A and B are shown apart, each in its own frame.
Chain A
Amino acid sequence: GNSVTQMEGPVTLSEEAFLTINCTYTATGYPSLFWYVQYPGEGLQLLLKATKADDKGSNKGFEATYRKETTSFHLEKGSVQVSDSAVYFCARSGNTGKLIFGQGTTLQVKP
C-alpha cells in the first residue's frame, strides 16, 4: 500500500489566505521528504525537500518541517496567490532513490 498519505482535495482558498496541506508517511529508517508541484499543463517539479529530522525545507514562500516524532511533513504558506493554484504531491524516498508519492492535493486559489 501507499506509505505517503495527503489530505484530500480540492482545497479552495481566497487569495492571501493561510495554507496547510497535511502529509504523513510510514517508513523504516529516515527517508528524505519532498514536496513536488504540478502547475496546469506543466510537468512535476520539486518545490522543497528535507533530508533529516527537524530540517525545514522552504521555497517560494512555502515551508515544510520534517517531524520524525509525528512522521509528518506538512506544507504551509502564509499568504497564497492565484498563481499557486496547482496539484501538490508529498513524497518520500525509497530504496534505490525512487520516490513514493501521495495521491496529490489540488489547490485552487480564488482572487
Chain B
Amino acid sequence: GAGVSQSPRYKVAKRGQDVALRCDPISGHVSLFWYQQALGQGPEFLTYFQNEAQLDKSGLPSDRFFAERPEGSVSTLKIQRTQQEDSAVYLCASSRGGVSGSSYEQYFGPGTRLTVT
C-alpha cells in the first residue's frame, strides 16, 4: 500500500513568507508526528496528533509554527514569517497505535526540504 507522502518535496521561501507543508499519512493510522531535521542532526520532535486531536505540541519552537489535522487524516504544518533558522527538512511520520502504543513503528515520509533565503 501507499506509504506516507509529503508535499512539496522542496520549498524555497524568502524570509518573512508563510509556508504550508502537507502530510498524507498511511490510511487508518491513528497517530501522526512532525519532526524537524537540521543538516547533520537527528530529527527533533515538533508535535503529535492522535486522530484530529493535537495532544502534544511541546516541540514547536515558536508561535510562528502551527499544525493541524482537522479530519484526523491529512495534516498541515504552517510556518509564518519564515526565518533562516527555519531551514531544515520537515519529516512527517504516522503509526497505527495511539498514545499508549509507544512500541508501534512510525513510518516516515520523504520529508520536505525548506530553504529560507
Which residues of A line the B interface, CB within 8 A? 2, 4, 31-32, 36, 42-46, 49, 51, 89, 91, 93-104
Decide if B72 is an interface residue (CB 8 Å cutoff): no
The CA of A102 and the CA of B55, in the complex, are separated in Å by 23
Contact flags B80-117 to A (C-beta < 8 A → 1, else 0) = 00000000000101010111111111101111000000
Residues of B within 8 A of A42 (CB): 110
SS class, residues of chain B in contact with chain A: loop
Residues of A within 8 A of B95 (CB): 97
Residues of B within 8 A of A51 (CB): 103
Chain B nearest CB from A93 CB (Å) reads 4
Contact B45 A46 (CB under 8 A): no
Contact flags B54-73 to A (C-beta < 8 A → 1, else 0) = 01100100000000000000
Residues of A within 8 A of B97 (CB): 97
Q: Given that A32-B103, A44-B91 are contacting pairs, would A98 and B109 also be in contact in the complex, using a CB cutoff of 8 Å?
A: no
